[in-house]
Amino acid sequence: MGFLSVLSFTHWLVRQFVRPGDLVIDATVGNGVDTVFLAQLVGAKGKVYGFDIQREALEQTRKRCMESLPDLKIVHLHLMDHARMKSVLPPDEIGRIRAVMFNLGYLPHSDERITTRPETTLPALEAALDVLQDGGILTVVLYSGHPGGREESEAVRRWAEQLDEGRYRVLCYRYLNRRNDPPYLIAVEKKTSV
Ligand code: SAM
């Protein structure tokens, strides 16, 4: 077997953490690939919250969910900036989220000017750490090839590097010799407190 692609490795990693019945978040639903992936992992007793600022993305995701999932009730989609994710979670679910996935950049085959930006991405990542349960995982797939992408990726990397190592494990999965700005993953595990 060769190396897993960044997106396949991200799914593999999330699969190690998420169990049926878990609460999870797709912070950038886009075309809904990660939303469906998460919904299949958590099953009928779980819940997936999804966020995007584009109506088109939510419509695509709803369609993909209808085609792929037996039960749409577990998917809760919000047309909303992910920096405000805490405002839609019931208070008793804050600190109980098992996984939060971010896939930054722009919606493929759409307006490339509508993209994630560090001003909202960094607050959203902080919010994600707040809502995660101990032992939970945050994944961020980063792209630096589009305008603003390099600045955003660097900002996320700096943010991840300064996280308290007593509280978080942080890894980076990245091709070092590939040209044309390949995507890479930063993942954060919130350690279980003792
Ligand atoms: N994970 C998606 C999939 O599986 O198809 C791809 C996500 S796409 C690369 C990034 C998405 O982030 C776009 O749909 C874009 O509209 C959305 N986005 C940009 N800024 C956002 C924000 N502040 N809050 C939530 N979503 C945002």
Q: Looking at residue 150, what is its pLDDT?
A: 94
Among 37, 38, 53, 79, which residue has the most ligand 1 atoms within 8 Å of its CB, making it the best to mutate?
Answer: 53
pTM of the model: 0.97
Q: What is the pLDDT of residue 112?
A: 87
Torsion angle in degrees (nearest 10) through CA of 50, 54, 56, 61 = -10
| Beta pairing class for 97-103 and 132-142 | parallel
Q: What is the pLDDT of residue 152?
A: 97
Looking at residue 108, its pLDDT comes to 87
Ligand 1 within 6 A of CB of 33:
yes
| Residue reference for tokens 């809502």 | 131
Which pLDDT value is given to residue 109? 86
pLDDT of residue 38: 98
pLDDT on residue 194? 61
Task: Specify the residue with its C-alpha closest to ligand 1, atom 2.
Answer: 30
Query: Rounded to whole angstroms, how far apart are CA atoms 16 and 36?
Result: 17
Q: Is 81 in the pocket of ligand 1 (CB under 6 A)?
A: yes
Q: What is the pLDDT at residue 28?
A: 98
Q: Which residues of the chain have pLDDT under 50?
A: none
pLDDT given at position 75? 98
| Structure tokens that stand for 146 in this block | 């589009």
pLDDT of residue 111: 86
Count Cα atoms within 13 angstroms, Cβ side, for 136.
20
Cα-to-centroid distance, 104 and ligand 1 (Å): 6
| Nearest CA residue ID for atom 20, ligand 1 | 116
Q: Closest Cα partner for 185 from 62, 5, 28, 3?
A: 5
